[in-house]
Structure 1
Amino acid sequence: MSDMFEFYNDDSSAGFRLDYMQMYNWGTFHNHVVTLPLKGKSGLITGPNGSGKSTFIDGITTLLYPAHRVRYNQASGGSKVERKIRDYFYGTYNTVYSEDETSVRDVSLRPDAKHLSILLARFYNEGTDQTVTLCQIMYARDRSSQIERLYVISRHPLRIEEHFAQIPTKLADIRKYIQTLPGTELHPSFSAYAKSFQRLFAMKSDQPLELFHKTISMKQVDNYTDFIRQLMLEPNDPAEQLDTLISHFDNLSNVHDRLEELERQREDMDRLFEDVRKWEGHNEDYQRYAKNEELISPFGKFLRYDFASDEQGRLSVELASKEQVLTRLTGKLRDVNTDLESTRGAIAQNGGQRLNELKIEIDDISTRLEAVRHHADTYRRLIRQLALPFPEAEVDFEQNKQDIREKADSIEERKKDLQERIIELSSSIKALKDERSDIEQETLSLRGRKNNIDLKTLGIRQKMCEELDIAVEELPFIAELVAVKEDQRLWEGAIERHLNSFARTLLFPLSRKEEIEKWINNNHLRSLLVAEPVDLDEEI
């Protein structure tokens, strides 16, 4: 009786597990089917940057979680939203600036909307030999429209290369084709699709999917308590759950008692059938005696007539009595069979839980109750540290919660202020370090030069000379052509400051005017450069 509902003893691979996942025209996996064959086991995806690890993660997340709530490319550690479902559909892998550097455009493997993107995953339950295949077919009417999807669920194994290789191109034909696949459903929206596969996976709420989305690309857990409370503990009422279990226990106890009564009635019927077999044996003896009586002599028949008559009368009475008992017990057996079928139906309607399983659940509730008491002790210790009174009623408890929230909010505000201050100071420190580095480089450069022209301006001239193949000596600054007499060196700094921008004027031969002006116009110098042509043949 205890093993009535046991059908699979090995739980090492119990439940629905990912057998394989396939992608077609998803991200940078272009024009071919990529398969991840996990076969119900755990898997480790490794590879260099850009090899598609996050693409796999975002693919399985898209199959199980609504796209407008998915934070793509989180597995790579990015803190901002770096990808969207459009990027995966069109195969976007880079962005480039326009020629005037005023805008950017995407570089994609599939720039038009004349293709389909397919995600498919098969989940298999080895214990029940059940299959659930999830599939999403993505399409767009044109480049400016939104990405639309068809949501497919099948009870049979599907593969892209086998079932979708020759898929029609028109949307209406695609819908008709999917409806021809055996055991396959086509859903109009993600909500209907999610409700269907959650029912197949026996999910009672959305919480498992929330936990999956949070943890599949998680790098760290900042607050373990909040993580467990929000994602791993389902909201429940222990008192209500205990009442429900007790009610189920009472129902199953009544069923158990009824089954024991039926078992006793079955034993009575077995004894009845044994009596019937004995009666049949006696009847056979009687018939044999009756035949023998015809063969005996009239004398012997006369001597035994009285005895046979008495015995026959006794057996007739006994036979009639047994027949009455048999009729009564046959009707009772029929009633017992009817009750047995009714009881079996009642067991099926109540879910078929065994009493042992119910006792285990009660033990589990008791364990949770002990945990609640432990949490209460911890709560008492913590509020003592916060100088709050231990609540005697629900109103006091709510007041403590309000006080704790206010303190937490105050601490959080203080924390945010400090973090903002740290960010401001870090930015100031970085700016000062950059400024110091620029000054040190400028100072080092000035020590090796005879003028005060800044290093950035010298770099522009050096780049111009290299790209136009001109000697540096052909493009002097005015400051490089001015020299102060040795006995007047004390005035050198004042003279250079007085000349200022005039001293930083770049002189170039008149013969190279066209190519130098063209170079200056085609390069974004990010600095002011004054350049003047000089006719080297002109006499001074």
Structure 2
Amino acid sequence: MERPSLLTGANGSGKTTFVDALLTLIVPEKRYRFYNQSSGSEKKGDRTEESYVLGGYSTTHSDNGQSSRTLYLRENKEVAYSILLAHFSNEADQFVTLFQVRWFSGSEMRRVFAIAHKPLHIEDDFRPFDTSGTWRRRIDQQYNKGSRKQVEWFDAASRYAQRMVEVLGMQSMQALSLFNQTMGIKVLGELNEFIRTNMLEPRNMEQEFQELKKHLSTLIDAQRNIEKSEEQIRLLQPLKKHYLTFREQSGLAQQARTEIDTSKIWLKYTKYHLLDSYVRQQEEELRSLRRKDEEARMELQNLREEERTTLNQLEQNKAGQRLQQLEKDRELLHQQVKEAEKASERFSEWCDLLRLDENKPADEASYMRIKREADRTEKRLATEIRNNEEDAYSAQDQLKKATEEKQKIETELNILLNSKNNIPSHLINLRRDLCAELKLEDHELPFAGELVQVRGDQLDWQPAMEKLLNPWLFDY
């Protein structure tokens, strides 16, 4: 309310009943609510929900004063009921209606709590009232149609109170207790104690402090672990560098091995391809020669038949001797022609194999040109073969050097991993050999650098000390 209100009236006019009705709507749970607070402590507790529903208005005493009886306006519980309703609104035209309904089912009181998000009125929305629940179904049919529910029903006072706190925008349930205390307050007493008891939420400060202390301890442990991890990472940095170098050299060695394997495979593939091509050519040439041989056999057979016929004729002819001589000369020339043709065919095949522009000489001049070109091709192929052999030898030499470098780095890395100082590996190996000859242990013949130690809090000066004392750190 924007302005304070004053409630006045004669005794018995209903001021306390009105205040208790409003208190019942706002503070529904009995443990937080006290009726008739303004009447003094001697009368607190003489009014209850049941007496209000039945309409108790007075108390009569017996003649001897030993017994009393409460007078009710509605003594029949079967028809007695009570409807409490209050409507609230704000400047944004938001409406909230709180209402509670009480009636009797036999001797037991029944209660229904509800919150409506629109204005309701007892005469318009609750009449006629009956104890069978028709009034509730009528409100549901009128205001709870579809998915939007304008009336919320509650059977428990605690759920109704929690929802009312949310709808009215209160901070917490403590506000209901404060409202109950201020409704009938007469004497405030100690202000601090009143605020602490009724206006402040109870908090377990000791438990919260212990939780904060536990979280702080957890954070400190986490910080220590982080610092420890950072120091471990810093100490492992040199090892990481050696590992990266080793991995790089291993990669180079693997690459060299791969290139060598590839070159071997390519060499074998090229050799196989050339041999396969040459074999195919020879097979084709063999088939051609077989066909020619067959044709030559047929022709030879025919010639032999003619020869027999001619010999018979020549024997009968006086000029037969001369013809026989000519025949022998012809056969010799024919044999030379065949050899020349075969040589020409082989010469053409060689030209094709060497990929020469001319492969069939027409005369002696063209033959000489082809021969000179063949000589140049022979020199070029010899140069390429020599270069390939040199490249193969260079690749093998690089592989050998890479393997030796890898073994050297691995040995150096193993020595550094097993050593607690930065003394070079060749000096450590030299001492080991010397101790073996003298039949001594390594620690019996220490280097001067192994006897020098920097305090744990001054480790940053260790590299500078080693550089300064380097000339005699390797002495025994």
TM-score, normalised to structure 1, is 0.34
TM-score, normalised to structure 2, is 0.39
More helix by share: 2
For the pair shown, which has the larger CA radius of gyration, 1 or 2? 2
